[in-house]
Amino acid sequence: MNRTAILKSLNKQLSLTESSKVLIVGLGATGFSVAKYLQQLGIKFAIVDSRDKPPLNDALLQDYPDTPVFTGGFDKAAFDVATHLVVSPGVSLQEEVIRKAIFSAAILVSDIDLFACSTMKPIVAITGSNGKSTVTTMLGEMAKASGIETAIGGNLGVPALDLLDEKIELYVIELSSFQLERTSVLGAKVATVLNVSADHLDRHADIESYAKEKQSIFSANSVMVLNEDDVLVKAMEREGSEVLTFTLKGKNGFHIETQNEQEWLMNAQQALMRKSELPLEGLHNTANALAALALGTAIGLNVKAMCNVLREFKGLNHRMQKVAKIKGVTWVNDSKATNIGACIAALKGYQHKVVLIAGGDAKGADMGELISIINNKARCVILMGKDADKIEQALNNSIPSYRAATVKEAVEIAAKLALEGESVLLSPACASIDQYKNYQERGDKFTAAVMSLAA
């Protein structure tokens, strides 16, 4: 789409014109991508950030020196003149100044809205509490292997607006609940909610509200790809919509079936590939593979190409990533497990006992939901971070637990506890922000500590 067509689309769908005054709230990667986009279209904008010096402040002032930037708090005057707000996902919509601005008729839009208004190419949108980055990457690679010019991003990696390119034939976008709660015009051709488990309950009122935000990923004409094993997701099915399902328990849609003493990934009656060919461990990764196959089928990808990608897919950094095997002990970095559901999925994938490293910022979740699986799969647990007490209290001395001040110290303790044939699993079930910049830094610290053991 050219500039004229984009402006026409923005006006029609978001009442956004060249005379609008857009306030970008939050100067991180998303906010910066919005600034670049608006600058190219000639739409006036200002930026506000509660931090004294946002991470991309210098880069913005270098590229766009005339941009009004308000830092060190949310300046009410900036909100008073705004016709549109683009609130970064990391900023809660419950901030009083934001609520008042929306009540006073400022239009809330997201970078995903702007992105959707700027392309006529098909969009596949993926969300869920767990597995969305893995499935997004799987599907993106499948599309590329099928010969389609594909861009992958959104909540994963590159901000959506930075993906826009006339050469792209398909966009595969990962979306968080925070992005979805402020998005209204996505219009995805195919969309999925992989699963819903307790997460971000410090920002959402309850799990039902959280699930409702996830459900908004489906547009009126979206092909719906649904997890048949998840009650909250299954309930999202809409009469009249085209629906594909995946399941680990049933025999419908994309599922697992035993034939001639081998387990196969199936699409209805069609055998696609042997389960043993998947290099990723864990039943949750089998579910991810089935979801990716369902999504790829919905957009007409080549079956052989999709299966070949799955045979070669080694996983993402910080997601069930094997770091090393030292003296018969396997060390696994699952730092991306920032919620209970992700930790449960990781533990379920083991047939043997593990030494579990967990803890951090629980984000208001009930740690009691973890206890049954920990008792079943872990021989002992090493706890760290802000909400270590919550996990320890929930365990109630059911298995041995130890305390560590940092992930490095947790690795040192685990090295003394782990037995040959076991795995040491960093799967925190909590966010990292109480101690680290993000889950990547936490995972990197874990990996460095493990590699120093190996040395």
- The set of catalytic residues is 132, 155, 200
- The closest alpha carbon to 198, from 349, 397, 445, 369, belongs to 369
Q: Judge contact between 290 and 131, C-beta under 8 A.
A: no
Q: What is the dihedral of CA 322, 325, 331, 336, to 10 degrees?
A: -10
- For 157-165, which contacts have Cβ atoms below 8 Å and span 24 or more sequence positions? 159/29, 159/30, 159/32, 159/33, 159/111, 160/33, 160/111, 160/112, 160/115, 161/33, 161/34, 161/36, 161/37, 161/111, 161/114, 161/115, 161/118, 162/33, 162/36, 163/115, 164/37, 164/115, 164/118, 164/119
CB 162 within 8 A of CB 33: yes
- Please state, in angstroms and rounded to a whole number, the distance separating the CA atoms of residues 362 and 249: 29
- Indicate if the alpha-carbon torsion angle 247, 252, 253, 256 is positive or negative: positive
